[in-house]
């Protein structure tokens, strides 16, 4: 595996240089690549950070499978505009409705809203409504397909066991709402999402401390009452991971918008929240209550992470970090055993270099696992995305509001704002609307907004209250952006889903909000 | 005590029939009383439900003290309008500002807003602003005085011990937001509020089940981690009490507005929530998790309660109730030992009469205590309010939004809506605004709104987030009622307070909301 030449892999996804066609070796070719990118032996521009060959610790088969999935998913979204254009061109033909539905079913896999098609003769086809509904429909189809295929239970159980071996009975990840982090679990960290039950996103990674204390409380009570997942005397802890982000190729523009694209500020803000959460637990509960924390930075250009190494007491600094892109470069040309040896010493060496104590063994093991998983992702980006995403900026397809969908996690798929009310989540909502005003409205496309909440089917009335919440949040978004609403720039979809694993996604219809208020 | 004639007590608070002046005994006198009221031996109209003498189990000294307090508090609010009228009359005099401040300090105990006074010469004095600010200032002064005097810790500790003896390690009361229930703990049930840490109000007693599950979780974790207030193996339970209300003298108008003044609907809705909360705990947690529940109805005319007697399994019905006004009438003429005997048998007798099993001993003891406490309150209303409040309807002085004030609980003092966002609490807010549109705006007075939230001083940033919440909720209320805002009909006060007992009430100033967003 580690002897395979990257050229072949690159060629697969880069049809501009057909297989077998030798590139002329003129050196001027360099000038066609943007800074930071260099031509590979095929003349393709590839990030200068990428090694010439596949990383010895990356599972190429898995990467290929994941790349196929990503490509198929994005292709389904990319098909929407050309399909709707084709349909639009026929809107004045006699059997328009029949033709339109046939094209939609063939190309998109579903029928369009009949009323919109039927109304086309009066004025023009309401393309905004069709586009928005098609994006949301495509996503729901993908989520349902993914839900039906989910078979990662064994993998998730193994990961949960590994976390516990490391001393963590729950791993809770909060990241930024930015859509470029939407692949965080499945792609960037390669963690089965069922093993990370709590993963919520907030603009600027500014997670809600009061709510997190409540989540900690729930987890701890289950341990005390049920001994699940560990007994109270086991000495394991709740681990909170916060992930901030930055852009190595355009640091002052494509970093975290909530922190003015200043990665130092973004990192400090996330670290402050972690410390505050830890203090809240230590102060609010007796008997030595404490949590473990970990701060991770993410380069959204290439998915490489930066891990801030905790000392023996769990303290972290902004400086004492392992840059995984550096580890990638140092190990890509090695044989696997040597790469593993370097991986096994990087945590302690980094701590030593900064004059700090090394973290506990369990934390070190966890960090090593995260680094290894992320090496595979760096390799993935090098192989399948030239080492730097073509869309280093925002390219989300829709806004996801609420509890977030579990089924499909993919980079730049959605801007995800976790919120229960727009009143509290207004800042996150505004950031999302700003992004999409540039991405979509500026190009004549509306903003699809998927509102999704989960309910507890074991709690009487929970479903009805969740449905009411969907409608209430929708109404609040409509009220917040009256100008966008008036011109049809916001298109909504609503869904609810039981918390119990494997539950169906239920579409929520528009309705009189008051009828379901209580 | 039980030989004292009620006449004397009534005379004290009814100056229209001077002491010593015998009333002529013409029978027509009856016609001066409204239905349900009869003249007593002094010719005063008194509720026909009241006994002729003080109840043997009521502590008259305590009742007199409580009546004094109530009268003093209401007098301070009642002084506001005449004082402002006096000030208004002088607004065109030369030394108006000095005179106004002198009158305000003398009569109200505080100075008025200087800017409002200084601006009077331009147009007219902004009486709405002065009135609203004075109401809120008066309340804050009262709350601070009460906070400084609070010495009920021993009493609260004794009550907590009693609850635990009855088998309840936490007693959580949810009532309706209606201001007529604002004296529920201190007056109607005579429970020290420190012994009932959780008491939140919702329009129609429709308490939040999901949030209640979280509160239960917090309580249980503390028992498991700290053994406080009872050890997990003690067999005690969390008791949830829901209190609905009705009006015996005007049942179809002065009952619970949220349920169309239909007391059957109000009772059923509260019972449904209790059952749902119980089911949520039983289904959501293993190992026989369960709670105890108790449903209580309240006649807001005379503060008499109705207790729905649970059977041995905790089940309740709308029919199997003890009407405390009936018990009051049956026991008022008895000697204390006989009254106690009847009190001691009423629970079992009621269960038997409806063919149901009797509740557990602890629940029976608790119900007896609540009935006894409420007998004293019925006696209080008979003695100090002619057995039926003059203000059987709404007469609240302000709207209280948020976590509610702990310090001053008094009937019709405030309409209290517990909410974290207006988006979720809009129904409760609308009910409050409707009430005050009739109470205040129709009379030319603005609606004072006190926004109050508590924070945890042990959680970093909690205070700042709470201050931000005050301002966010204020902005949301302003946005919801633009017409009222435009004409100055809404006057706001904001305050924050640490959760830790004995903490100061801190006034929150208006400010740029965004500066404190995170």
Cβ–Cβ contact B459 with A under 8 A: yes
Alpha-carbon span A482 to A422, nearest angstrom: 14
Answer whether A399's CB lies under 8 Å from A432's CB. Answer: yes
Torsion region of B260: left, alpha or beta (phi above 0 gives left; psi -120 to 50 gives alpha) = left
Alpha-carbon span A462 to B276, nearest angstrom: 10
Active site residue B428: no
Cβ–Cβ contact A209 with B under 8 A: yes
Would you call A462 and B204 a contact, using CB atoms and an 8 Å cutoff?
Answer: no
Higher pLDDT, A375 or B503: A375
By CB atoms closer than 10 A (0-12, 13-18, 19+), residue A412 is buried
Q: What is the pLDDT of residues B23-46, one digit of tens each?
A: 444 444 445 899 999 998 888 899
| Neighboring chain B residues of A224 at a CB cutoff of 8 Å | 221, 224-225, 232
pLDDT at B151: 66
Would you call B214 and A218 a contact, using CB atoms and an 8 Å cutoff?
Answer: yes
Q: Ranked by mean pLDDT, which of A302-316, B85-99, B189-203 comes out on top?
A: A302-316
B320: nearest Cα among B367, B279, B252? B367
CA distance B388 to chain A (A): 33
Cβ–Cβ contact A434 with B under 8 A: no
Sort strands B198-201 and B168-175 into parallel, antiparallel or unpaired: parallel
Alpha-carbon span B197 to B406, nearest angstrom: 10
pLDDT at B4: 40
**Tokens at B234, concatenated:** 């003690």
Answer whether B36's CB lies under 8 Å from B249's CB. Answer: yes
Cβ–Cβ contact A513 with B under 8 A: no
Q: What is the DSSP letter of B53?
A: B
**Tokens at B471, concatenated:** 């301002």
Nearest-Cα residue of chain B relative to residue A269: B518
Q: What is the DSSP letter of A34?
A: P
CA distance A147 to chain B (A): 24
Cβ–Cβ contact B423 with A under 8 A: yes
Instruction: Report the alpha-carbon angle B190-B402-B141, nearest 5.
Output: 65
| Neighboring chain A residues of B283 at a CB cutoff of 8 Å | 458-459
Alpha-carbon span A459 to A317, nearest angstrom: 43
Answer whether B329's CB lies under 8 Å from B51's CB. Answer: yes
Domain borders along chain A are 79-137, 153-384, 394-516
Nearest-Cα residue of chain A relative to residue B462: A210
**Tokens at A487, concatenated:** 């011109």
Answer whether A53's CB lies under 8 Å from A333's CB. Answer: yes
User: Residue B224 pLDDT more than 70?
Assistant: yes
Beta strands, E only, A110-178:
168-175
List per-residue pLDDT tens for chain A, 518 residues long. 333 445 444 433 333 333 344 444 444 444 589 999 999 888 889 999 999 999 999 999 999 999 999 999 999 999 999 999 999 999 888 899 999 999 999 999 999 999 999 988 888 899 999 999 999 999 999 999 988 876 678 999 999 999 999 999 999 999 999 999 999 999 999 999 889 989 999 999 999 999 999 999 999 999 999 999 999 999 999 999 999 999 999 999 999 999 999 999 999 999 999 999 999 999 999 889 999 999 999 999 999 999 999 999 999 999 999 999 999 999 999 999 999 999 999 999 999 999 999 999 999 999 999 999 999 999 999 999 999 999 999 999 999 999 988 888 899 999 999 999 999 999 999 999 999 999 999 999 999 999 999 999 999 999 999 999 999 999 999 999 999 999 999 999 999 999 988 899 999 999 754 433 33
Would you call B225 and A462 a contact, using CB atoms and an 8 Å cutoff?
Answer: no
**Tokens at A242, concatenated:** 């916060």
B198: nearest Cα among B160, B245, B151? B160
Could you write out the DSSP letters of every residue in A61-119? HHHHHHHHHHHHHHHHHHTHHHHHHHHHHTTTSTTHHHHHHHHHHHHHSSPPPHHHHHG
Residue A61: how many CB atoms within 10 A of its CB?
A: 9
Residue B418 pLDDT grade (very low, low, confident, very high; cuts 50, 70, 90): very high
Sort strands B37-39 and B45-47 into parallel, antiparallel or unpaired: antiparallel
Which residue in A206, A284, A423 is closest to B423 by CB distance?
Answer: A423
Helix (H) or strand (E) holding B400: strand B398-402
Would you call A460 and B214 a contact, using CB atoms and an 8 Å cutoff?
Answer: no
Q: Which of residues 224-283 of A touch B (CB under 8 A)?
A: 224-226, 232, 269, 275-276, 279-280, 283
| Neighboring chain B residues of A203 at a CB cutoff of 8 Å | none
Nearest-Cα residue of chain B relative to residue A274: B460
Instruction: Indicate if the alpha-carbon torsion angle B34, B39, B40, B45 is positive or negative.
Output: positive
Would you call A225 and B226 a contact, using CB atoms and an 8 Å cutoff?
Answer: no
Which residue in A225, A284, A427 is closest to B456 by CB distance?
Answer: A284
Residue B121 pLDDT grade (very low, low, confident, very high; cuts 50, 70, 90): confident
Could you write out the DSSP letters of every residue in B291-325? -EEEEEEEETTTTEEEEE---TTS---SSSEEEHH
pLDDT at B405: 87
| Neighboring chain B residues of A288 at a CB cutoff of 8 Å | none
Would you call A213 and B459 a contact, using CB atoms and an 8 Å cutoff?
Answer: yes
Which residue in A279, A423, A472 is closest to B476 by CB distance?
Answer: A423
Integer CA distances (angstroms), B114 to A394, B96, B118, B120, in order? 52, 11, 6, 10
Contacts by residues B486-489 (CB-CB < 8 Å, ≥ 24 positions apart): B488/B126, B488/B128, B488/B129, B488/B446, B489/B128, B489/B440, B489/B441, B489/B446, B489/B447
Alpha-carbon span A431 to A439, nearest angstrom: 12
Q: Which of B40, B126, B172, B178 is catalytic?
A: B178
Cβ–Cβ contact A395 with B under 8 A: no
Helix (H) or strand (E) holding A292: strand A292-299
CB pairs under 8 A between A and B: 119
Nearest-Cα residue of chain A relative to residue B513: A427
Cβ–Cβ contact B461 with A under 8 A: yes
Interface test with B, best of A226, A425, A461 (most B CBs within 10 A): A461
- Tokens 């099993």 belong to B357
CA distance A159 to chain B (A): 25
Would you call B225 and A220 a contact, using CB atoms and an 8 Å cutoff?
Answer: yes
Residue B199: how many CB atoms within 10 A of its CB?
A: 21
By CB atoms closer than 10 A (0-12, 13-18, 19+), residue A242 is buried
Q: Once rounded to an integer, what is the mean pLDDT over residues B296-300? A: 98
| Neighboring chain A residues of B458 at a CB cutoff of 8 Å | 279-280, 283-284
Which residue in A280, A472, A518 is closest to B458 by CB distance?
Answer: A280
Would you call B214 and A214 a contact, using CB atoms and an 8 Å cutoff?
Answer: yes
| Neighboring chain A residues of B279 at a CB cutoff of 8 Å | 458-460
Sort strands B198-201 and B45-47 into parallel, antiparallel or unpaired: unpaired
Nearest-Cα residue of chain B relative to residue A270: B518
Nearest-Cα residue of chain A relative to residue B221: A221
Which residue in B206, B226, B427 is closest to A286 by CB distance?
Answer: B226
User: Residue B184 pLDDT more than 90?
Assistant: yes
pLDDT at A378: 98
Domain A394-516 class in CATH: alpha beta
**Tokens at A55, concatenated:** 């990383």
Would you call B225 and A225 a contact, using CB atoms and an 8 Å cutoff?
Answer: no
pLDDT at B150: 66
Complex ipTM above 0.85?
Answer: yes
| Neighboring chain B residues of A423 at a CB cutoff of 8 Å | 421-423, 472-473, 476
3-state secondary structure of B201: strand
Alpha-carbon span B333 to B335, nearest angstrom: 7
| Neighboring chain B residues of A458 at a CB cutoff of 8 Å | 279-280, 283-284
Residues pairing with A294 in the sheet = A241
Higher pLDDT, B515 or B505: B505
Nearest-Cα residue of chain A relative to residue B466: A210
3-state secondary structure of A308: strand
Would you call B221 and A220 a contact, using CB atoms and an 8 Å cutoff?
Answer: yes
Which residue in B224, B279, B462 is closest to A224 by CB distance?
Answer: B224
Higher pLDDT, B288 or A246: A246
In the 3-class helix/strand/coil scheme, how is A249-277 assigned residue by residue? CCCCCCCCHHHCCCHHHHHHHHHHHHHHH
Alpha-carbon span B238 to B285, nearest angstrom: 14
Higher pLDDT, B351 or B22: B351
**Tokens at B424, concatenated:** 């979720």
**Tokens at B465, concatenated:** 């987030």
CA distance B458 to chain A (A): 6
Instruction: Report the alpha-carbon angle B314-B319-B321, nearest 5.
Output: 70
Could you write out the DSSP letters of every residue in A453-515? EEE-TTSTTHHHHHHHHHHHHHHHHHHH-HHHHHTT-EEEEEEEEESSTTPPEEE-----GGG
Which residue in A225, A279, A289 is closest to B460 by CB distance?
Answer: A279
Give the contacts of B147 (CB within 8 A, at least 6 positions apart).
B407, B502, B504, B505
Give the contacts of A470 (CB within 8 A, at least 6 positions apart).
A402, A451, A452, A453, A494, A495, A496, A508
| Neighboring chain A residues of B227 at a CB cutoff of 8 Å | none
CA distance A366 to chain B (A): 28
Sort strands B447-455 and B490-498 into parallel, antiparallel or unpaired: parallel
3-state secondary structure of A377: helix
Would you call B210 and A465 a contact, using CB atoms and an 8 Å cutoff?
Answer: yes
Answer whether A79's CB lies under 8 Å from A96's CB. Answer: no
pLDDT at A512: 52
At residue A37, φ and ψ (nearest 5 deg) are -110, 145
Answer whether B89's CB lies under 8 Å from B100's CB. Answer: no
């Amino acid at each position: 595996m580690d002897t395979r030449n990257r050229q072949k892999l690159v060629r697969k996804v880069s049809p501009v240089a057909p297989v077998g066609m030798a590139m002329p070796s003129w050196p001027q070719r360099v000038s066609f690549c943007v800074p930071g990118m260099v031509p590979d032996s095929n003349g393709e521009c590839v990030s200068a950070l990428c090694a010439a060959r596949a990383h010895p610790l990356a599972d190429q088969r898995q990467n290929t499978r994941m790349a196929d999935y990503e490509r198929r998913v994005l292709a389904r979204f990319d098909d929407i505009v050309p399909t709707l254009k084709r349909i639009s061109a026929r809107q004045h033909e006699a059997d328009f409705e029949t033709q339109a539905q046939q094209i939609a079913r063939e190309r998109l896999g579903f029928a369009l809203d009949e009323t919109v098609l039927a109304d086309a003769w009066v004025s023009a086809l309401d393309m905004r409504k069709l586009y928005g509904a098609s994006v949301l429909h495509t996503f729901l189809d993908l989520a349902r397909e993914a839900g039906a295929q989910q078979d990662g239970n064994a993998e998730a159980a193994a990961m949960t066991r590994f976390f516990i071996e490391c001393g963590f009975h729950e791993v809770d990840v909060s990241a930024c709402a930015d859509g470029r982090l939407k692949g965080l679990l499945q792609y960037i960290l390669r963690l089965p999402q069922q093993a990370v039950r709590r993963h919520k996103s907030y603009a600027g990674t500014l997670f809600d401390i009061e709510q997190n204390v409540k989540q900690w409380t729930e987890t701890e009570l289950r341990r005390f009452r049920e001994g699940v997942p560990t007994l109270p005397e086991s000495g394991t802890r709740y681990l909170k991971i916060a992930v901030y982000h930055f852009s190595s190729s355009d640091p002052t523009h494509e970093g975290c918008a909530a922190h003015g694209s200043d990665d130092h500020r973004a990192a400090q803000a996330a670290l402050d929240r972690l410390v505050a959460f830890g203090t809240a637990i230590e102060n609010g509960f007796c008997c030595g209550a404490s949590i473990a924390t970990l701060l991770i930075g993410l380069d959204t250009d290439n998915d490489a992470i930066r891990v801030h190494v905790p000392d023996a007491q769990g303290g972290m600094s902004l400086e004492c970090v392992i840059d995984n892109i550096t580890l990638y470069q140092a190990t890509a040309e090695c044989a696997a055993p040597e790469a593993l040896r370097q991986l096994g010493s990087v945590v302690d060496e980094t701590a030593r270099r900064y004059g700090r104590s090394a973290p506990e063994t369990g934390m070190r093991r966890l960090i090593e696992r995260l680094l290894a998983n992320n090496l595979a992702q760096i390799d993935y980006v090098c192989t399948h995305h030239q080492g730097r995403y073509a869309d280093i900026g925002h390219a989300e397809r829709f806004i996801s509001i609420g509890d977030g969908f579990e089924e499909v996690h993919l980079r730049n798929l959605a801007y995800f704002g976790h919120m229960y009310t727009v009143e509290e989540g207004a800042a996150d909502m505004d950031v999302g609307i700003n992004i999409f005003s540039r991405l979509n409205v500026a190009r004549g496309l509306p903003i699809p907004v998927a509102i999704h909440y989960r309910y507890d089917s074991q709690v009487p009335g929970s479903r009805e209250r969740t449905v009411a919440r969907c409608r209430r949040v929708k109404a609040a978004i409509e009220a917040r952006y009256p100008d966008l609403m008036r011109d049809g720039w916001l298109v909504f979809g609503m869904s609810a889903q039981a918390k119990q694993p494997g539950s169906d996604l239920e579409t929520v219809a528009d309705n009189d909000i008051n009828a379901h208020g209580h």
